[in-house]
Structure 1
Amino acid sequence: SDKYYNTPTAIIGPKDQKFGATPDDLKGKVLGVQVSTVHAVYAKKHFGPTASEIKEYQTQDEANNDLAAGRLDAVQADSIALKEFLKTDQGKACCDLKGMVAPDDEVLGPGVGAGVRKEDTDLKEKINAGIKAIRANGKYDEISKKYFDFDIYGGATQSN
């Protein structure tokens, strides 16, 4: 289907270190990502040439724990997941948001849509019509603003 949401990809790191989310900012740093995700693919493509190491973890929690323990310099993941971590006691104590990574539609895609079988064209059209209708009548924004402090539909083109 057409996209119905799109969240940015972010970088977090230790509070006492000042850097951003560009390849130059991560030069020589150890970056943690969850294995087999678009974030791992993105990190290898964009940060691999400059980061001293890209370390892959089975779960996001493992990467976050290693960052909090000082075994990583930064973590890259979905911004919503990282913001939730930063609200925890562990996250508040250690880390802050360094920035959002640059868009790459080839890796991150244009947004998240509903998956349907190719032959279900009628269903796909109904889903797309529904998305378009709630975007047009303001209901999407009304619901979105209850739960998110940013444009969940995605002014940016990246997705997770």
Structure 2
Amino acid sequence: MITLKSSVSDEIHKQLAIELFNFTWDLIEKPDRNETEDETMVNAAHASRFHWDMVGTAQHFATGEWQISRVYSLVGRPEPALFHAQKSLALCQNNQLGDFNTGFAYEALARAYATQGDTKQRDENIALANRSAEKVDKESDRVWLLKNVNTIASLSLPIWEGN
């Protein structure tokens, strides 16, 4: 966590982190985004991660890095997508965040490599994501992770059906 001298309360940082994460997710799912919305999506993902820096945990940091990577993959920018996916994976591994989170970090890496056109690295990370998914106890989490992994080769996104 970073200490920032500010009049912004922890509760406001948390509220902004959540709202910006959800706003980013709405843009991720928007099928007909324009260039301005793509830029807004990138900025909102970074802003959410910034606010988590003020009040979050390693879990929030890893998820934020994963979302930033997803956004960069969507806009066709593999280098920052890889950078943030690697940060997500390191946070998962260094903080023992479990197979679900680690699986999504591998999913982000695979998606970033797919965006780059590196099928060898894509497939290696898909295999690692699948291995992580096999170890996820909660069925709905395992299914959601696998739905995401199964869309990497097509660079599409799964449809959220809720729990």
Q: TM-score range by the shorter chain?
A: under 0.3
The structure showing larger relative contact order (alpha-carbon pairs under 8 Å, at least 6 residues apart) is 1
- Higher helix fraction (1 or 2): 2
Larger Rg: 1
Higher strand proportion, which one?
1
Q: Give me the TM-score of the superposition, normalised by structure 2.
A: 0.26
